[in-house]
């Protein structure tokens, strides 16, 4: 946690992954992010996996360091309260539809300098989720074993909702760009970020779109190899699987040295009339011959010995872990300053909590903050942002328009 965005207030009305991620990143830099949900919880409030106590671990982690306001968003009065909170705040992140009760056009009638970021499915208004835009991108049909028949092989989905997280990060950036625009012009702005465009645009930025059009065909599947360079998973003598990557001459030289393959690689270069040190293209097109050499060498070492050799040589590698192993790994988690002490999580379950991914050498990062209980800050925010008296808030609570903390309700 840092405070470089302190003073910035944001309203977030969102669900699932991309939109909450945008608010989370802002909150980790010190912004005051108020998440507004329906009083029974949004669509993601009970998102899998849920603890025995009924708390979603996904929701808990995507909403750290935020405040929570719970309103009856199915009522006109609750919706107007939400809209007024946005107007009084001036900054909105949401994934509600363009023409919802929180449309930029309606909100800007009372706040012309409003900056809003709206996450959409596709640019034409169609719904989408990470897994459906990923299907459209072509990436799943590029994954899988090299020997699969291209005509009949199934797609291989990415288990991480990567497009959601990329979109969330891009939306946090978009919000700050919108604020800079307002600072310079005094004008508000609406920014719509379609999840599908993030996926297809990223494919284009990576050069993959140009590549497919240039070659006039799809790229072949190459299993766990790295496209266009030397890299793949290997198996040590004691059964440990690890990944090696050599994208630069320095990395290649270190990898060959660690595996003890200088003579064998030199002999293969002489046979083929190429230099692997000088050309990642040659390392890639001749990867099968090289993979055989490196796997034969790996068969001679236990992983601990080979890891020591790779480290000493300055090679780039890492052992495959299960996610359960990773969650307990000393280097990745236990001794990593990214993680701070477990805050008072609503689930009651204590586990490592990450700070901001960015390290600011000039500042000391604060400890991670917990996610709120649903409606925990309803009274505080309504009083602070809208100037409602305790009596007015009490009447809203009695009528079921406003809900307070669900700490004891799960």
**164 assigned to active site:** yes
Give residue 63's Cα distance to chain centre: 13
Which of 299, 319, 339 terminates a domain? The answer is 319
Query: 282-331 pLDDT, tens per residue?
Result: 999 999 999 999 999 999 999 999 999 999 999 999 999 999 999 999 99
- Answer for the pair 342, 64: CB distance below 8 angstroms, yes or no: no
- Answer for the pair 64, 353: CB distance below 8 angstroms, yes or no: yes
Pairing status of strand 91-94 against strand 67-71:
unpaired
Same structural domain, 78 and 149: yes
Q: Which domain holds residue 249?
A: 230-319
Q: Give the domain CATH number at 262.
A: 3.30.1540.10
Any domain includes 312: yes
Any domain includes 76: yes
Any domain includes 263: yes
Here the tokens at position 165 are 């997280």
Same structural domain, 113 and 238: no
Here the tokens at position 194 are 């379609």
Which among 37, 44, 130, 164 is annotated as catalytic?
A: 164
Same structural domain, 148 and 271: no
- Quote the pLDDT of residue 76: 98
Task: Determine the Cα angle at 217 with ends 215 and 220, to 5°.
Answer: 100
Q: Give the domain CATH number at 194.
A: 3.40.50.10540
Query: 184-211 pLDDT, tens per residue?
Result: 999 999 999 999 999 999 999 999 999 9
CA distance 101 to 97: 9
Strand partners, 189: 115
Same structural domain, 177 and 239: no
Same structural domain, 50 and 196: yes
Alpha-helical runs (H) found in 158-302: 162-185, 195-205, 208-215, 249-259, 262-272, 280-285, 287-298
- Quote the pLDDT of residue 74: 97
Q: Is there a cis peptide before residue 18, judged by omega within 30 degrees of 0?
A: no
Same structural domain, 396 and 268: no
- Quote the pLDDT of residue 362: 92
Here the tokens at position 151 are 């005509």
- For residue 79, CA distances in Å to 39, 82, 84, 101, 115 come to 12, 5, 9, 7, 19
- Quote the pLDDT of residue 300: 98
Task: Determine the Cα angle at 373 with ends 372 and 375, to 5°.
Answer: 105
- Quote the pLDDT of residue 164: 98
CA distance 187 to 179: 9
Strand partners, 13: 94
Same structural domain, 23 and 138: yes
| pLDDT beneath 50: ranges in the chain | none
**Residue 69 backbone phi and psi in degrees, to 5:** -120, 130
How many folded domains does the chain comprise? 2
Same structural domain, 270 and 350: no
Residue 222: name the closest of 310, 131, 153 by CA. 153
Same structural domain, 288 and 353: no
| % of the chain residues with pLDDT over 90 | 98
Residue 124: name the closest of 112, 136, 113, 115 by CA. 136
Q: Which helix or strand (DSSP H or E) is residue 71 part of?
A: strand 67-71
For residue 389, the SS3 value is coil
Any domain includes 213: no
Any domain includes 410: no
Give residue 8's Cα distance to chain centre: 22
Listing DSSP states for 15-70 in one string gives: -TTHHHHHHHHHHHTT-EEEEEEETT--TTTTPSSB-TTS-BHHHHHHTTT-EEEE
Here the tokens at position 15 are 């669900």
Residue 345: name the closest of 43, 40, 20, 64 by CA. 64
- Quote the pLDDT of residue 83: 98
Residue matched to tokens 């602070």? 384
Same structural domain, 241 and 362: no
Same structural domain, 22 and 150: yes
């Amino acid at each position: 946690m840092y405070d470089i965005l302190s003073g910035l207030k944001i309203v977030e009305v969102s669900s699932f992954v991309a939109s909450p991620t945008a608010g989370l990143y802002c909150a980790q830099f010190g912004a005051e992010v108020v998440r507004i949900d329906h009083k029974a919880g949004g669509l993601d409030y009970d998102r899998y996996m849920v603890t025995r106590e009924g708390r979603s671990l996904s929701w808990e982690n995507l909403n750290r360091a935020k405040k929570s306001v719970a309103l009856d968003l199915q009522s006109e009065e609750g919706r107007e309260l939400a809209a007024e909170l946005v107007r009084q705040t001036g900054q909105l992140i949401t994934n509600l539809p363009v023409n919802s009760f929180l449309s930029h056009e309606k909100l800007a009638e009372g706040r012309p300098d409003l900056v809003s970021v709206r996450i959409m499915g596709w640019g034409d208004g169609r719904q989408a989720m990470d897994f459906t835009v990923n299907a459209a991108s072509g990436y799943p049909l590029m994954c899988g074993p090299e020997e699969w028949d291209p005509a009949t092989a199934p797609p291989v989905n990415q288990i991480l909702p990567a497009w959601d997280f990329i979109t969330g990060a891009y939306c946090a950036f978009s919000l700050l760009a919108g604020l800079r625009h307002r600072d310079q012009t005094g004008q508000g702005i609406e920014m719509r970020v379609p999840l599908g465009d993030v996926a297809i645009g990223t494919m284009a930025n990576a050069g993959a779109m140009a590549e497919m059009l240039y070659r006039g065909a799809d790229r072949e599947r190459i299993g766990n190899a790295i496209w266009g360079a030397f890299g793949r998973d290997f198996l040590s003598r004691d059964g440990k699987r690890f990944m090696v990557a050599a994208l630069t001459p320095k990395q290649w030289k270190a990898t060959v040295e660690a595996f003890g393959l200088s003579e064998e690689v030199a002999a293969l270069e002489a046979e083929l009339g190429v230099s692997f040190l000088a050309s990642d293209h040659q390392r890639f097109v001749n990867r099968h011959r090289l993979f055989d050499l490196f796997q034969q060498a790996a068969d001679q070492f236990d992983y601990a010995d080979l890891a020591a050799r790779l480290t000493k040589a300055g090679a780039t590698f890492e052992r495959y872990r299960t996610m359960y192993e990773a969650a307990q790994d000393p280097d990745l988690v236990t001794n990593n300053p990214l993680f701070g002490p477990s805050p008072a999580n609503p689930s009651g379950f204590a586990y490592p909590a990450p700070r901001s991914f960015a390290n600011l050498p000039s500042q000391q990062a604060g400890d991670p903050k917990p996610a709120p209980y649903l409606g925990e800050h309803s009274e505080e925010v309504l009083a602070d942002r809208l100037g409602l008296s305790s009596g007015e808030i009490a009447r809203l609570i009695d009528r079921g328009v406003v809900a307070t903390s669900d700490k004891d309700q799960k």
